[in-house]
Structure 1
Amino acid sequence: MNRTSSASAMIASLLFAVGAAQAATGGNQVMLNGKSVHGEVVAAAQGARVVNVDAGKAINVNCGDVVTFQSAGKSFTWKFNSAAHRALDVRDIAPQGFTDKKQMVYVSRNEGEGA
């Protein structure tokens, strides 16, 4: 096998692996280190914004915001450190089984990130 074919095979294998990883995480967008491109789960923070997913209203957040999501007696807290500042469904970041309801979250840049 020549170098070009070997490099092509390696790239194809890497793309397959990334696709498989995304499929395994329910289509979540993850970085190569396995972390979400949208942020991370954090410990519940005093003063964090609380959103009831069962209300079904879309929410707007800024990058860096900490939000506690609640649904049917369950909750999780998320810090938005978004790489792309785009809309996502709360189900994309929620723990498995948290909710089956769609709720859009619109992530904007924070003041320190500029326009």
Structure 2
Amino acid sequence: MNRTVSASAFIASLLIVAGAAQAGTAANDRMINGKSIHGEVVAATQGTRVVNADAGKAINVNCGDVVTFKSAGKDFTWKFNSAGHRAFDLRDIAPAGFSSKPLMVYVSKSDAERG
């Protein structure tokens, strides 16, 4: 009986983990304080890089970069203070209703982090 219960519990835990992995990364990309591991929304400043989120499939940024994303008359500006320097979909950080098109963001270490 113990083996049956243990096997059932193991299978149930695998299903829960698999379901959580498919649920998306946005919820998992938060630190304990609730902030994103990818950075934060900031005000646009002069000289900020501007990217049309509908024009491509991927962009490269460095940690510390500030980028304004535009799509269908909407925009938001993000400062990349990445905790993990890994790729993610822009939709994970974009405001609700911004764009439904996927855009992969590849975050590299800044020059200061490489040294």
TM superposition score normalised by structure 2: 0.75
After superposition, residues 74-93 of structure 1 pair within 5 angstroms as: 74-93=74-93
8 Å Cα contact 2:39-2:79 kept in structure 1: yes
**Secondary structure of the structure 2 residue equivalent to 1:55:** coil
> 1:18-59, CA deviations, whole angstroms, 9 ceiling, x for partnerless residues?
xxxxx7x95351001010000000001110100001102311
What is the CA–CA distance in structure 2 between the aligned matches of 1:26 and 1:107, rounded to whole Å? 16
- Alignment partner, residue 31 of structure 1: 31
Residue 52 and residue 28 in structure 1: after superposition, are their counterparts in 2 closer, same or farther (change >3 A)?
A: farther
Would you say 1:98 and 2:98 are equivalent positions?
yes
Larger Rg: 2
**Secondary structure of the structure 2 residue equivalent to 1:54:** coil
- The residue type paired with residue 73 of structure 1 is G
Q: Which runs of 4+ in 1 moved over 6 A?
A: none
**Secondary structure of the structure 1 residue equivalent to 2:51:** strand
- The residue type paired with residue 99 of structure 1 is S
> 1:53-111, CA deviations, whole angstroms, 9 ceiling, x for partnerless residues?
11023110000000000000000000000000000111011001101000001000001
Structure 1, unmatched stretches of 5+, are 1-22
8 Å Cα contact 1:56-1:101 kept in structure 2: no
**Corresponding pairs, count:** 93
The RMSD of aligned alpha carbons is 1.8
- Alignment partner, residue 46 of structure 1: 46
**Secondary structure of the structure 1 residue equivalent to 2:41:** strand
Residue 28 and residue 41 in structure 1: after superposition, are their counterparts in 2 closer, same or farther (change >3 A)?
A: farther
What is the CA–CA distance in structure 2 between the aligned matches of 1:50 and 1:28, rounded to whole Å? 27
**Secondary structure of the structure 2 residue equivalent to 1:35:** coil
- The residue type paired with residue 103 of structure 2 is Q
Structure 2, unmatched stretches of 5+, are 1-22
